[in-house]
Structure formats: structure tokens, C-alpha cells
Amino acid sequence: MFELPSGAEIQSIISILKSGLGFFIPEIYLSILFMGLIILDLALKGRNKSGILGWATLIGLGGSFYFIAQQHAMQAGEHFFGMYVLDEYAIFFKYFFVASGMFAVVATLADRKFDAEVKSIGEYYALVVAMVIGMVMMAAASDLLMIFLAMELVSLSAYILSGYFKRDARSSEAALKYLVYGAVSSGLMLYGFSLIYGMTAETNILKISMELADHGYDPLVMILATLLIMAGFGYKIGAFPFHFWSPDVYEGAPTPITAYLSVASKAAGFALLLRFFYIAVPHGVSPYEDILGIDWLTLLVIMSVASMIYGNVVAIWQKNVKRLLAYSSIAHAGYLLLGVIVMDEIGTQAVLFYLLSYFLMNYAAFYVVVLISNRTGSETLDDYRGLGSKMPLAGAALTVFLISLVGLPPTVGFIGKLMIFSALLSKGALYIWLALIGVLTSVISLYYYMLIPLNMFLRESLEPNEKSLNPGFLAQLMMAVLMILTIWFGLFFEPLSEFARYSSAMFGLSLY
């Protein structure tokens, strides 16, 4: 029979929870924001509702920076009985996801398609915030249960958001495919978790690590568990061969959500991947050695190489800009995986830096795509013809962002790739060929990325009307700022790389 614990025990539990609360303020704030937005949606009436909601979301998300910034002063540690961990790594991603959420809102405010397609925008912003909460928790979760719940929260919000244009068949199709695919992946991952639990009887990843190190493990089960968990994580990061959902979903979803998914959701997957495999899985003396008795690095290497090659090669064939960017995001997942393969501080730093650069350039590229589709109503490559003279700033900005995505100097994307490759090379000759594949596939990516500026600047428009299209002052300013930032951080990237280095510290990491 269950016996109620003594009063003292209960008191201690309560005090632990209370103390944990102090480390949990940004998440609480975001949850309140989430619910507040739902209520605001119900309370508001009138024409400017969607604008007010958007700005409220933007300001609300911005407010959370204050609470996140205060966490820098706090001690790294586990809270809520090992459910939640606070460390520099988690704080980095909190900033990252809140900023992504804000950017998604900005892109949504710019996107005219919402006015035509969507009747009620209230749920939309609430779900964007819910997704931020889920992603923040993904980066901060240190328990299998929390990981699963956080991932489900992200996925669920994402399903609905990607199908937000209900009357658009493509959007609905995207949502449905996403749902089916995501459910299968979650199921597989859960299966992997259960195998790990079966071997260790623990759900906390630190304790799992200790158990595995102390009691040993059966390599075959570990392989199976690792593979199944990779299916879940791979789906989130959109790496080959778990990427199949992404082109369809990215194409069908509203463009701001495409950007949101391709940056934030992917980053959340990487946050989780790094933490899980660095902490939960005990490592040999050096990363070169087979970990767990299997060289699971091979798994990552195959995924990474296949993603780089597949993403870049298939992107060549795409006629739709969103779809093209979707395939390129698969390739970027491959580059990021290269940083994971390095398996040390430099690699983590490189991954974090690459994510920052990817955040900037990919969001910015999608933002321009939104602006262009506002004017032309289309996202196909052919409709980009001659846009360079009609929207010169948008054309120039998009070109800069694409150059950055290719990874050419003097842009931030170049530095990101450079850091990944140099992190790889720092591991010695073993990884040179990986870096080489990375460079070669980047060259391929040059081809299809440059198709867009090619169409915009060097091909004549199919329609002869030469009137220029003005995206509006705020949008112009935004593009100019993003363009300058892309180049600025390409030249003076010390603050970013320092931030990434500072943030690569994970709680409980015994790897280095």
C-alpha cells in the first residue's frame, strides 16, 4: 500500500519546487503570454484586430528577453527533480527561439496572404507562442518525458500552423502529411526511449548516462534505441532520410511558418540532439573511439553526407522558391550535423554559430520571398524574372542573403561554414573528406541559389510592364538592416562567435 510521506518530506518537496520556480520565470512568462493572447483574441473586436494581436505578440515575446537575460546570473543546474536544466546552452536557445518567434510574427505581419486567406488570426499568434514554449523546453529538458512532451507541443503547434490556410488545398495537405509523418516519428522515438528506460530504469539523461557507464549495456539494444531516437530527432532537424516531410510542408505552409519551421524547429532539433547525445550517451576516452561499442558516428556521418548531397542536388531541379529553400534547408541540416560529428567544444560552438548565421540569412531570405509574393502573388522561379529592376532593394537583399546561404565571403554564412569546416579539420585528417564534401556541395548550392538572382537581374520579365513595385518603407528598412547585418557579422563576427563559445557550456557535460 502507498503510504503518504511524512510532513517533513512533503515540505522538502514543496521547497524544491518553489526554488525551481525561480529558475523558470521565462517559461512561466511565455505561458502567461500564450494564454493572454487567447483571451485577448476573444476580447478584441474590430478591424485592426490582427494587427494589434501581432504587435502584442511581438512586444510580449520581446518582453521575455528581460527575464531570459536575468538567467545569466543564475547557477547552472537541474531543477524540478531533474526535469529541467538551466545552463548557458539553454539560455542561448531561449534567446534564439524567442527571436525566431518574433521574426515569424514580423514576417506574418508583412504577409498579405493572411488578410485574404485567414479569418481569425488569434489562434495563430497563440500557437506561435506555444511553439516557442515547446522549443524552449526542448532545449532545456533533461528528462525523456519532458523531451517528448516538449517535442509534441512543438509538433502539434506546427501541424496546425502549417495548415493555417484552411481553404488552400496545399496548406491542408501539408498539415496532414506533417501530422502523419510526425506521429510516426514520435512513435519511433518513444519506442527508442522505452528501450533506454528498459535498460536503465531512468528517464533523466544524466542518470541514464551514469547507469550506462556503470552497468554496461547490450550494444544491439543500444543501436536499436539510438536509431529509433535518431528517427525522432532526424525528423525535427529535417536531415536525410528523415526529411521527406519537409519539401511538401515547406511549400504548402504559409511562408512565415515555413521560415519558422526551417529555422527554429530545426534549431530545436539540434539543441536536443546535441544535449541528448553529448550527455545521455556515455563516450569513450576520445570521440574517435567507438562510442557505445558501435561507431554511431557513422550514422551521423551518413546522415550528414546524404543530407548535403541530396539537399543540394535535388534543389537544382526546383522551380518553386519555397521548395528550393526547403531542399537547401535539408543541406544545411547536413552542414550542421558536420559540427555535431566533431563532438567537442569547438564543434558545439561551430553549430551554435552556424545556427545564428542560418537564423539571420534564412529568415531574411524568406522575408524577402514574402514581400515579393505579396506583390507578384507567386513563388515560382519564372515569376522572379526581371524583378531586380522592379524591386531593386529586395533583389539586392535577396542576393546578399543567398550569397550568405551559399557561404561566400564577406557574409555571415561564410564564417558559419568556415567554423564548421575548421572545427572538422581540427580533428585531423580523418575528417578532411567530410569537409571536402561540404565544400563541394556548397559549390553545387551556388548554382541553384544563383538561379534566383539570375532570374531577377539578367532575365527579362515575362510581363512587359516596367513599373517598380514598392514593398513599403518599413519593409525596405527591415531588408536593409538585415542585409547590413548579414555582411556586418560576416566581417566582424567576434561577438557572435564569442557568444557561441560562451553558450557551448552544457550542464553535466563530461565529454571534455
Partner 1 sequence: MSNPTYTAIFYLFAAITVFSAAFVVFSRNVIYSAFSLLFTFFGIAALYVFLSADFIAVTQVVVYVGGILVLLLFGVMFTNNIMDTDLKTDVLHAIPGTFLFLGILAALLFTFYTTNGWMPSDTQLQGSVVERIGFETMSRYVLPFEMASILLLAALIGAAFLARYDNGGTNEH
Partner 2 sequence: MHSLIQLSIAVLLLPLLSFVILIFFNRRLPRRGDFIGVGILGATFGLSAYIFWTVIVQHYDPAFRVAWDFTWIDFGNVPGVGPLVIKMGIVIDNLTAIMLAMVTLISFLVHLYSTGYMKGDKHYGRFFAYLGIFTFSMLGIVLADNLFAIYIFWELVGLSSYLLIGFFFEKESAADAQKKAFLANRVGDIGMWLGILILYSQFHTFSYHEIFGHLAAGEFGMSHAWLTAAGILLFMGCVGKSAQFPLHVWLPDAMEGPTPVSALIHAATMVAAGVYFVARIFVLLTPEALYVISFVGAFTAFMAATIAITQHDIKRVLAYSTVSQLGYMVLGLGVGAYSAAIFHLVTHAFFKACLFLGSGAIIHAMHHEQDMRWMGGLRKNMPWTFVTFSVATLALAGLPLSSGFMSKDAILAGAIGFAQAEGGGIYYLVPFLGFISALMTAFYMGRQIWLVFFGESRTHLKPAAPDDHHAAHAHDDGHEGEHHAVHEVAWNMRLPLVILAALSIFVVYSPDPLDGGKGWFMHMIQTPATVVGETVHAEPALHMEAGESLAAGEGHEVVPGHGAAQMHAETHTEGHTFADPRQAEIGHLSHAAHNQAIMISSIMVALGIVLALVFYVFRLIDPDKTAKAIRPLYLLSFNKWYWDEIYNATVIKGSLGIARLLSWFDANIVDGVVNGVATLTRKFAFANGSFDRYAVDGMVNFTAFFVNTSGAFMKKLQTGKVQTYVVMVILALFGYFVYYFTQLVY
Site of interaction with partner 2 (CB under 8 A): 176-177, 180-181, 184-185, 188, 219-220, 223-224, 227-228, 231, 235, 241-242, 244-245, 247-248, 293-295, 298-299, 302, 310, 313-314, 316-317, 389, 392-393, 395-396, 415, 418, 422, 425-429, 444, 447, 491, 493-494
Contact between 242 and 234 under an 8 Å Cβ cutoff? The reply is yes
Decide if residue 420 touches partner 1 (CB under 8 A). no
Dist. CA 31–CA 26, nearest whole Å: 9
Residue 19 interacting partner from partner 2, partner 1, none (CB closer than 5 to 8 Å by kind): none
Contact segment (CB under 8 A) with partner 1 among 109-117, 240-248, 317-325, 426-434 equals 109-117
Cell numbers 488552400 label which residue?
Answer: 168
Decide if residue 168 touches partner 1 (CB under 8 A). no
Residue 11 interacting partner from partner 1, partner 2, none (CB closer than 5 to 8 Å by kind): none
Decide if residue 167 touches partner 1 (CB under 8 A). yes
Residue 100 interacting partner from partner 2, partner 1, none (CB closer than 5 to 8 Å by kind): none
Interface residues for partner 1 in 238-277 (CB under 8 A)?
Answer: none
34: Cβ contacts below 8 Å, ≥ 6 apart = 126, 129, 130, 133
Q: How far is the CB of 73 from partner 1 (least distance, A)?
A: 22
Residue 245 interacting partner from partner 1, partner 2, none (CB closer than 5 to 8 Å by kind): partner 2
Decide if residue 145 touches partner 1 (CB under 8 A). yes
Residue 119 interacting partner from partner 1, partner 2, none (CB closer than 5 to 8 Å by kind): partner 1
Cis peptide before 282 (omega within 30 of 0): no
Residues pairing with 78 in the sheet: 85
DSSP state of 464: -
Number of CB atoms found within 10 A of residue 1's CB: 2
DSSP state of 85: E
Nearer to partner 2, 22 or 241 (CB): 241
Contact segment (CB under 8 A) with partner 1 among 113-121, 229-237, 374-382, 406-414 equals 113-121
Cell numbers 550506462 label which residue?
Answer: 212
Query: Cell numbers of 500, please?
Result: 557561441
Residue 491 interacting partner from partner 2, partner 1, none (CB closer than 5 to 8 Å by kind): partner 2
Q: How many residues bind partner 1 (CB under 8 A)?
A: 60
Contact between 384 and 394 under an 8 Å Cβ cutoff? The reply is no
Cis peptide before 241 (omega within 30 of 0): yes
Decide if residue 146 touches partner 1 (CB under 8 A). yes
Nearer to partner 2, 38 or 176 (CB): 176
User: 160: closest CA among 117, 127, 119?
Assistant: 127
Residue 354 interacting partner from partner 1, partner 2, none (CB closer than 5 to 8 Å by kind): none
In angstroms, the first-to-last Cα distance of the chain is 45
3-state secondary structure 293-312: CEEHHHHHHHHHHHHHHHHH
Among 55, 65, 67, 217, binds partner 1 (CB under 8 A): 217
Dist. CA 457–CA 334, nearest whole Å: 30
Dist. CA 251–CA 425, nearest whole Å: 36
Among 88, 152, 168, 173, binds partner 1 (CB under 8 A): 152
Pairing of strands 77-79, 84-86: antiparallel
Dist. CA 250–CA 178, nearest whole Å: 10
Query: Cell numbers of 267, please?
Result: 534549431
Q: How far is the CB of 247 from partner 2 (least distance, A)?
A: 6
Nearer to partner 1, 160 or 281 (CB): 160
Please tell me the chain's helix, strand, coil percentages from 3-state DSSP, rounded to the nearest 5.
Answer: 75, 5, 20
Among 18, 45, 72, 119, binds partner 1 (CB under 8 A): 119
Decide if residue 126 touches partner 1 (CB under 8 A). yes
Q: Is 460 helix (H, G, I), strand (E, B) or coil?
A: coil
Contact between 341 and 431 under an 8 Å Cβ cutoff? The reply is yes
Residues near partner 1, by CB under 8 A: 1-2, 4-5, 10, 13, 17, 20, 31, 34-35, 38, 47, 49-50, 80-81, 83-84, 114-120, 123, 126-127, 130, 133-134, 137, 143, 145-146, 149-150, 152-153, 156-157, 159-160, 163-164, 166-167, 198-201, 211, 215-218, 220-221, 224
